[in-house]
Amino acid sequence: MLGKLIFSMRVLVTAVLALLFLCCASFPDSIIPPDPAAQYAEGFTIHFFHEKMWFWAMLVLEFWVLIGPKRNRVWFCGVLPVFIIALLLWPVLGAIRPELVQATHSYQGGMLTYGLGLMAIYVAAGAVVRLVLAHHLFPAADEPVENSGDIEASVLDSLQPRTVEEIAANPQRPTPNFLFGEADMERVIGFRAVIRRYFRQKYVRLTILIFLILLGVGWVLLYPQPTEEEALARDMAIMFNTRTLRNGQTVATPAAVHAAYRVIDYISRHEAFAGYTPAQAEQWLRLDRVPEAYRLQLRDERNIELASVDNLFESRTRFLTVTDGRRWAVLYIRTNAEGDKINVAEVQDAGWNAVVDDERRRFGMEFGRDRLK
């Protein structure tokens, strides 16, 4: 009982470490946020682990598996379920929370897609090492063969050699000496039935395994993904979701600010507001459905300091601002001389990566994006 409990605890900790490995590979910026001050700091800092965070998590995972008994079984029971569940969730998250699956910005990492790719390589390499290489490099000790002693002395007697002609003239074949009688045939028939049942169950299990693999592949590849119009409708439905901070301030949820950025980026790329009046743009955004207090916060046109923009030369009008307190998605507009028609709508982000924000503010909008592509 104690052995089973220890094994279960080791499997559980292994699964947690496997999940940590996946998170480190997919979302390193969420675990250790980029810091401009630490980017070029001398000496050892915690940001030393940021670049290859998944590698250090993998070392911890492997060390934990190796320090106890039943290493292979613990590894497979802990790592494979995490990988399979994450792989099955990948298309679902891609449909409802795409910011978790793919990078919102070009300077971000590959998110869950990249993390699953690394984990797939790790699982494949780990399985090969454990099932193939380790089996050949460290084979099990051979059991000693017991000698019954029932060997005729003439076979070992070198003083009685026989020529080929003598062997051909008088071949000595072993005489079968089975101890089975008529009563033992039932045991033989039963043994044959057990063998047939074993192979039948083996084929059934193999068939079920192949079916489950094909089902999983079909789920991952064929799960329906939204079109651009459907994705826009999905994002517009959640872009104004809010939460209240401890200080009483109302801000967007993390999912809402990502959705707001995608909506604003859609407006900018498709020039959706070209020729619109500000009132028509508000109607397109469905701001009339937003509570009045939060709507005023969204439509605040006063100048603000964004970490990614040098406001010294700013000549745009802030039309819509969505923030969760850390990330910012801002829609800027440029109007005609009369100010009643929108000519250009532009998207501006800040807060996703402090290092890139600092470089864009100091050197230009595209510098940080290009450097981290």
pLDDT per position as a tens digit, 210-220 = 999 999 999 99
Phi-psi region of 146 (alpha: psi -120 to 50; beta: other; left: phi over 0): beta
* Tens digits of residue pLDDT in 326-362: 999 999 999 888 888 999 999 989 988 888 888 888 7
Using DSSP, state whether 205 is helix, strand or coil: helix
Q: Is the pLDDT of residue 121 over 50?
A: yes
Contacts of 56-63 spanning 24+ positions with Cβ under 8 A: 56/24, 57/17, 57/20, 57/21, 57/24, 57/25, 58/21, 58/122, 60/17, 60/20, 61/14, 61/17, 61/18, 61/20, 61/21
Residue 5, token pair as written in the block: 């409990």
Mean pLDDT of 194-222: 89
Report the pLDDT value the prediction gives residue 60, as an integer from 0 to 100.
95
Residue 61, token pair as written in the block: 């995972």
| CA–CA gap between residue 89 and residue 206 (Å, rounded) | 25
Report the pLDDT value the prediction gives residue 124, as an integer from 0 to 100.
94
- Specify the pTM: 0.77
Q: Is 86 or 181 the better-scoring residue by pLDDT?
A: 86
| CA–CA gap between residue 48 and residue 70 (Å, rounded) | 34
Q: Is the pLDDT of residue 152 over 70?
A: no
Pick from 136, 116, 112: nearest CA to 124: 116
